Structure 1
């Protein structure tokens, strides 16, 4: 039935098709794989970040600061906009990064009522090590995928991402 190797999702779809042949299970074939890949990717990323000495939640904040460019400083509101967490959660993350010496809070010269969160050199070294380690692991995971297959997967996932307009719950 399958021309390529099969996975657990093939078995699930085959079983459903057998008992409910009146339904088209092709969406399940896509979204079940996306969900399984996301779970596996979380494990891979947690390991890669742990090796660099940061947690995934810390990486999210440090990554936003690093990508912002020198002087690697953003307001808490800007950091919040780059994540899918509540303001209380972001405050906790920033507090933890301050305790670990990876960021400092400074007065915002552009707005005396606001603060900036600035990444320290130690934070920069950690986020750089984390992204480098992550890319090495992820490159290994993609090693058996040809350039043509990669382009098809990337294009398809982009289209799927753009088509998904489901709002995240707050």
Structure 2
């Protein structure tokens, strides 16, 4: 609707960029709000907490990273990371361990419970993503992935 209104008010402006970015924004918002956030909530997690657990899990054994590595990987502030880690530690999903290479440093490790929670949740998460993408053929999914990768690289 907004694109059509701009077309009426400012026919000199190209409508396609507005339509594409509007759809990207709308799709992202709907996927997160309606499909991903509820899945995380069912697991007792906030989206950012899921991201921390997933980053630790995919890092491989021993599933342990420094807070700095975590906040850089997730592109958030150190304060934001501290808040997430505090909540996850209270829930028994991660623990802070001394860094053997830095007397003052800490490492963040998945607990057995945290590993179980992320393993269960990531399976449901990927199945949910597959379901959401099922409106596209496999070829369309590959094309969309390639086009989005190209767009992001250009940004």
Specify the TM-score bucket, using the shorter chain as the normaliser.
over 0.9
**Structure 1 runs of 4+ with >3 Å offset:** none
Q: Does 1:111 align with 2:112?
A: no
CA contact (8 A) 1:65 1:119 kept: yes
Q: How many residues were matched structurally?
A: 154
Helix, strand or coil for the counterpart of 1:96? helix
**Within 5 A, what are the aligned runs for 1:86-101?**
86-101=77-92
TM-score where L is the length of structure 2: 0.94
What's the RMSD between the two structures over aligned residues?
1.2
Note the residue ranges of structure 2 that are not aligned, 5 or more in a row. Answer: none
Looking at structure 2, the residues matched to 126 and 54 of structure 1 have their Cα atoms a distance apart, in angstroms, of: 9
User: TM-score with structure 1 length normalisation?
Assistant: 0.86
The CA deviation string for residues 126-158 of structure 1, in whole angstroms up to 9 with x for no partner, is 111221111111111111211121121111111
Partner of 2:112: 121
For structure 1, list consecutive stretches of 5 or more residues without a partner in the other structure.
1-10, 165-170
2:5 corresponds to 1:21: no
Following superposition, the deviation at residue 14 of structure 1 comes to 2.4
The answer on 1:162 being equivalent to 2:153 is: yes
Larger helix proportion of the pair = 2
Corresponding position of 2:21: 31
Q: Which whole-Å CA distance do the structure 2 matches of 1:130 and 1:73 have between them?
A: 19
